[in-house]
Amino acid sequence: MSIVGARIDNRLLHGIVATSWAPNANATRVMVIDDDVANDLQKKQAMKLGRPSGMAVSIISKQTALTNFKAHKYDRQKVFIVSQTPDVFLALLEQGEDIKELVLGGTLTYTEALKVTNRAYIKPNQIETYQAILDAGCKVISKYVPQDESVDVAKILKNRKAGA
């Protein structure tokens, strides 16, 4: 199996991920891919407190994630990945990992950013990354909670190009 869910969220592992997203994906492992948190023992320990019941948690760097997936370490698990940035998911896709859908959840608000929803923004320097993810065959939607209506990020990017 392997990757059953993928989400961009500035808060990484928190209540909504632990109680809604990961369980809805039938995950057996929640994986936080973030270099800063993975290399800060205090942040890492604090984040592990949010571990969803009955699921393993990994908090690892981008390079460790790429290495572990390449070595097929998670082939028998159902992994829900959360990261703050789209480049993590693009790197996994470029390595040949199968990610069917990427959910753009909550982000910080950025000036000059492309507003997708009231809670999700795309920085100008990330637009090409999102387009490359779409070009790799991964659907990108925005939702804060699973019950929300999906916003098609491809349409937002297309409208931006068209000047709408």
DSSP characters for 11-75?
A: T-S-HHIIIIIHHHTT-SEEEEE-HHHHT-HHHHHHHHTTPPTT-EEEEE-HHHHHHHHHTTTTT
What pLDDT sits at residue 88?
98
What confidence tens digit (pLDDT) does each residue in 54-90 have? 999 999 999 999 999 999 999 999 999 999 999 999 9
Work out the angle at residue 94's Cα, subtended by the Cα atoms of residues 160 and 121, and round it to the nearest 5 degrees: 30
What pLDDT sits at residue 37?
97
Domains in the chain: boundaries: 2-161
Q: At what angle do helices 62-70 and 86-94 cross, to 10 degrees?
A: 20
What pLDDT sits at residue 110?
83
What count of other Cβ atoms lies within 10 Å of the Cβ of residue 122? 24
Q: Across residues 142-155, what is the average pLDDT? A: 96
Q: Which two tokens stand for residue 30?
A: 């929640």
Q: Across residues 117-133, what is the average pLDDT? A: 96
Q: In angstroms, rounded to a whole number, what is the distance separating the alpha carbons of residues 14 and 52? A: 9
Above 70 in pLDDT, residue 138?
Answer: yes
Min mean pLDDT across 46-55, 88-97, 129-138, 146-155 is at 46-55
What pLDDT sits at residue 162?
56
CATH topology of domain 2-161: Fructose Permease (3.40.35)
62 CB-near residues (< 8 Å, 6+ apart): 33, 34, 35, 83, 87, 88, 91
Residue with tokens 């790429």: 66
What count of other Cβ atoms lies within 10 Å of the Cβ of residue 160? 12
Above 80 in pLDDT, residue 42?
Answer: yes
Give the CA count within 13 Å in the CB-facing half-sphere of 105. 22
Q: Tell me the whole-structure pTM to 2 decimals.
A: 0.94
Above 90 in pLDDT, residue 137?
Answer: yes
